[in-house]
Amino acid sequence: MSVDNKVKSQIPADKLLTMLFDDGVYTELTPVANDALSVVTACGKIQGQNVYAFAQNADCTGGAMTATVAQKLTKLYAMALKTGYPVVAFYLGSRAQIAQGNMLLDALGDLVASASRLSGVVPQISVVLGDVVSSTAILANCADFVVMSENAKLSMSADSECKGISKASLLVADAGEAVDAVVNLLSFLPANNLSQAPVVSQAVPCADTYLDKDSELVLFEKTGEGAVVSFARVAGKAVGVVKTLGKTLDCKTCKKIAKFVSVCDAFSIPVITEVNAEEFECLTGATALLSAYTEATTLKLSVVTGKATGPVYMTLAGKAGRMDAVLALEGAVVSPIKPEAAAYLALSDELTGTVAEQDAKIAQYVATELSAENAAKAGYIDDVATTDTLRNKLINYLDILSSKRESSLPKKHSTI
């Protein structure tokens, strides 16, 4: 299928916007703006919250980008900055009026700068439903979240074999699923960085986790296998959850977590980090992750669920990450180095007998001397919980620390 035919086969802009907004009702912005009909801009309500949106119009020049279109979208971003409403963007492709040359590039530059300026002020969600490349790909990737259809592409080059799936916050089958994903995402997010995230009044506990039942939305599944990040709810309140999986934390995993923590911090969403990892694979990734946690001023709770060792403990559960409270499950382990290595050093004179007997002594040392209970007695852990009491303890800490106020130092930004 050619690019033109592929774009024309997409859902028209007006139908996409009708699917997106409550009851299909929205107000089209600047509907008669000269040659800007290839993109439709609108404002309407999603779950009662005002939201701006724009969609490429496949029925008009395939949704081609022109200087006038870029100026129209720049105006929409300016309105979002003034009013504090989220922005949702639907991208069908990357057609552009190349004949406009530098005039188009100049207008696109203003547009990308507007999107970047809005970052961290209101939530931005890009929905990629076609092959989006080059400058348009940069604009789409400026969003906090990217929802991609399975046959779409997000790349700097049309010839690239990389489809950019790792950039997807959520991967969906089609436009209908994409709209549902956007609505679900927005249900966890405040309208802007000065508002509070929506609260669900009827929260139902889950039998096997501290999260509310059926509340978890897993993100960035196609990258960073060492951890799972998700939005969820605890007692009806939106939280970000980082769950390490007992694996080495590689660079992609660290970058995924850092990105997620940064977004949660921008919109003051509490972060709960489940710690079960012994080491980092990459110095760059470890440093980036530490910087994200240290810079974040949102409420941060850590739960040591397995092993928290050395730099991993320091970053995700220790003072370096500036956690507000650190809990641990019974049976968890906190150690300055790998637990077995720590036990071997401490018991070097006692490790006699068969291999099985030595292993038993090491296991006993880890279970007692490196236990969460010992760490709590030494002041390194604030509380120890069982799987049955963890939910109530987390609810209490979220309530106690809900009025947290912490200002960052007077600087432009971190250089890490």
Task: List, for residues 50-66, the tens digit of each pLDDT value.
Answer: 999 999 887 666 557 78
- Is the distance from CB of 273 to CB of 301 less than 8 angstroms? yes
Using CB atoms within 10 A of its CB, is residue 96 exposed (0-12), middle (13-18) or buried (19+)?
buried
How far, in Å, CA of 99 to CA of 86, rounded?
A: 33
User: How would you label 190-229 residue by residue, b for 16+ Cβ within 10 Å and e otherwise?
Assistant: bbbeeeebbeeeebeeeeebbbbeebbbebbbeebebbbb
How far, in Å, CA of 306 to CA of 118, rounded?
A: 39
Q: What is the pLDDT of residue 315?
A: 96
How far, in Å, CA of 52 to CA of 87, rounded?
A: 5
Give Rg (Cα) of the chain: 24
* Joined tokens for residue 103: 């005039």
- pLDDT 10s digits, 228-241: 999 999 999 999 99
Q: What is the pLDDT of residue 365?
A: 86
pLDDT surpasses 60 at 8:
no
Give the alpha-carbon dihedral of 397, 403, 409, 414, to 10 degrees: 50
pLDDT surpasses 80 at 413:
no
pLDDT surpasses 80 at 7:
no
pLDDT surpasses 90 at 33:
no
What is the rounded average pLDDT of the residues 295-320? 95
Across the strands, what pairs with 132?
154
How far, in Å, CA of 178 to CA of 180, rounded?
A: 5
Nearest to 51 by CA among 118, 121, 122, 110: 122
- pLDDT 10s digits, 357-367: 777 888 888 88
- Is the distance from CB of 347 to CB of 361 less than 8 angstroms? yes
Cβ-based neighbours of 378, under 8 Å, separated by 6 or more: none
How far, in Å, CA of 150 to CA of 131, rounded?
A: 11
What mean pLDDT, rounded, does the chain reach?
A: 90
| Domains annotated on the chain, with CATH | 3-186 (3.90.226.10), 217-332+371-400 (3.90.226.10)
Q: What is the pLDDT of residue 3?
A: 43
What is the rounded average pLDDT of the residues 156-178? 90
Residue written as token pair 């006993």: 364
Across the strands, what pairs with 384?
328
Q: Determine which of 48-62, 174-188, 214-228 has the lowest per-residue pLDDT on average.
A: 48-62
